[in-house]
Amino acid sequence: MWTSNAPRARLALEDGSVWHGYAFGAQGTRLGEVVFNTSMTGYQEIITDPSYAGQIVVMTATQIGNTGINTEDDEARRAFLSGFVVRELSPCVSNWRATTDLSTWLASQGVVGIADVDTRAITRRLREKGSLKGIISTDDSLTDKELVEQARAWHGLDGVDLVQTVTCEEAYHWAEPAPDEWEFRQWQPAHPYRQRAPLPFRFHVVAYDFGIKRNILRRLASHGCRVTVVPAHTPAEEVLALAPDGVLLSNGPGDPAAIPYAVEATRQLLGRVPIFGICLGHQILGQAFGGRTYRLKFGHHGGNQPVKHLPTGRVEISAHNHNFAVDPETLPPDVEVTHVNLNDGCCEGLRHRHVPALSVQYHPEAGPGPHDADPLFAEFVEMMRVFARSRQGEV
């Protein structure tokens, strides 16, 4: 909703198109890769997902901001995305949990927003042409042509290690307490292939922080795990020295081919400890298996992607946020594809046939999104339990 006294903002794309609207959030000029997200809810979790580092996110939902911002729903210590684009910024906040509005909070995060632009037209352009380099600016001194030229001159995200901009600086223990047995039974949904680790024994999971979402840590805790989070560059031997029952490879931003140190550490961990990869972690594991990754045309970003679990035929509606995928044709025979995307057929899940390692390219922890894939955490716990028993000679 345009108001005459609102500061102006522009979004310019490398294809030469320029979109005029009004500014909210921070002032300034930011470059980024422009992608669209089809989630209907959860904009705060989307904005604070570190996987969006270096990107300008276009929301396809018509109105954003109506539930405000609260401190409990952040998925990271701050927002890492470059810009935020909406059709309409809600003029009011209606949520008892809210502590501030979206514009004020984005300003504190240094994120430039633009509203009152045709997000449907921008989304169709991205679907047709693929993800585009772009620039979002509140600077009236720059001409439209200059903004387009800056977008075209930007180096983009291919080959760039963005993980180092989002990872933690030192290891820490996740403080979220695991629920007791009664709480676990009360709110955990039943599922035919769910296997639950016995409580109160808690498996120790070391989670690599490539840009980890807090809801991944919450879900691990809810499944009876105690979690140590380590920086992305932590060598395999240092991880093993922590005596983990399992290792989690987290989500994160950027090109998976740009972080060979993570692939090498994962390769050294294979067979020595159970591994579960999520999103970027899936792509890292795929490379550790010997596979290669490639860029999708416009990526998967949203909470409504249908994924088929091949062993059971079960279809999950799932949350996604990635621009790259693993090429299944480059994987060795010992690795099976467990999940495929029903929209474009790309690989969404892997499992090794002989060593305890599995991964999915989407987000089983939701935050935001559906909870269909939550049983994957229970599968990881079961994998740790079987591995522990095999080491003790019980199986």
What is the pLDDT at residue 194?
A: 38
pLDDT for residue 180 is more than 60: no
Is 2 a domain residue? no
Mean pLDDT confidence for 12-26: 98
pLDDT for residue 391 is more than 90: no
The larger pLDDT score, comparing residue 385 to residue 186, is at: 385
Predicted confidence band of residue 394 (pLDDT cuts 50, 70, 90): low
C-alpha span between 63 and 66 (Å, rounded): 7
pLDDT, tens digit (0-9, with 9 covering 90-100), for 198-229: 445 589 999 999 999 999 999 999 999 999 99
What is the pLDDT at residue 159?
A: 95
Percent of the chain exceeding pLDDT 90 equals: 89
C-alpha span between 358 and 311 (Å, rounded): 13
Q: Is the domain of 203 the same as that of 321?
A: yes
pLDDT, tens digit (0-9, with 9 covering 90-100), for 332-341: 999 999 999 9
What is the pLDDT at residue 139?
A: 97
Q: Which of 118, 153, 188 is the last residue of a domain?
A: 153
Is 202 a domain residue? yes
Q: 137 and 105 in contact (C-beta within 8 Å)?
A: no
Q: Which two tokens stand for residue 215?
A: 């809801």
| CATH number, domain with residue 190 | 3.40.50.880
Q: Is the domain of 306 the same as that of 365?
A: yes
Residue 138 CB contacts under 8 Å (≥ 6 apart), including other chains: 7, 8, 9, 23, 27, 28, 29, 112
Q: Is the domain of 34 the same as that of 170?
A: no
C-alpha span between 116 and 6 (Å, rounded): 11
Mean pLDDT confidence for 282-292: 98
Mean pLDDT (the chain, rounded)? 92
Is 3 a domain residue? no
Is 369 a domain residue? yes
Q: Is the domain of 167 the same as that of 267?
A: yes
Structural domain including 325 reads: 163-391
Q: Is the domain of 225 the same as that of 91?
A: no
Q: Is the domain of 147 the same as that of 168?
A: no
Is 297 a domain residue? yes
Q: Which of 14, 223, 279, 301 is catalytic?
A: 279
C-alpha span between 277 and 300 (Å, rounded): 17
Predicted confidence band of residue 390 (pLDDT cuts 50, 70, 90): confident
How do 225-231 and 275-278 pair as beta strands? unpaired
Q: Is the domain of 117 the same as that of 170?
A: no
Q: 295 and 323 in contact (C-beta within 8 Å)?
A: yes
What is the pLDDT at residue 213?
A: 97
Is 188 a domain residue? yes
Q: Which of 153, 187, 222 is the last residue of a domain?
A: 153
What is the pLDDT at residue 244?
A: 98
Q: Is the domain of 245 the same as that of 358?
A: yes
pLDDT for residue 186 is more than 70: no
Mean pLDDT confidence for 322-333: 97
pLDDT for residue 90 is more than 90: yes
Predicted confidence band of residue 197 (pLDDT cuts 50, 70, 90): very low
pLDDT, tens digit (0-9, with 9 covering 90-100), for 25-73: 999 999 999 999 999 999 999 999 999 999 999 999 999 999 999 989 9
Q: Which of 300, 363, 379, 382 is catalytic?
A: 363
Q: Which of 14, 316, 348, 365 is catalytic?
A: 365
Total tally of structural domains belonging to the chain:
2
Is 285 a domain residue? yes
Predicted confidence band of residue 183 (pLDDT cuts 50, 70, 90): very low
CA of residue 276 relative to chain centroid, distance = 15
Question: Residue 45 catalytic?
Answer: no
The CA distances from residue 259 to 157, 167, 191, 224, 295, in Å, are 13, 13, 36, 31, 15
pLDDT for residue 145 is more than 90: yes
Q: Is the domain of 128 the same as that of 192?
A: no
Q: Which of 193-197, 296-300, 381-385 has the lowest mean pLDDT?
A: 193-197
Q: Which of 153, 178, 212 is the last residue of a domain?
A: 153
Question: Residue 279 catalytic?
Answer: yes
Q: Is the domain of 132 the same as that of 184?
A: no
Q: Is the domain of 32 the same as that of 126?
A: yes
| CATH number, domain with residue 48 | 3.50.30.20
Residue 371 CB contacts under 8 Å (≥ 6 apart), including other chains: 189
pLDDT for residue 267 is more than 80: yes
Q: Is the domain of 340 the same as that of 271?
A: yes
Q: For the chain, report the end-to-end CA distance as a whole number of angstroms.
A: 64
Question: Residue 363 catalytic?
Answer: yes
Is 178 a domain residue? yes
pLDDT for residue 192 is more than 80: no
The larger pLDDT score, comparing residue 3 to residue 314, is at: 314
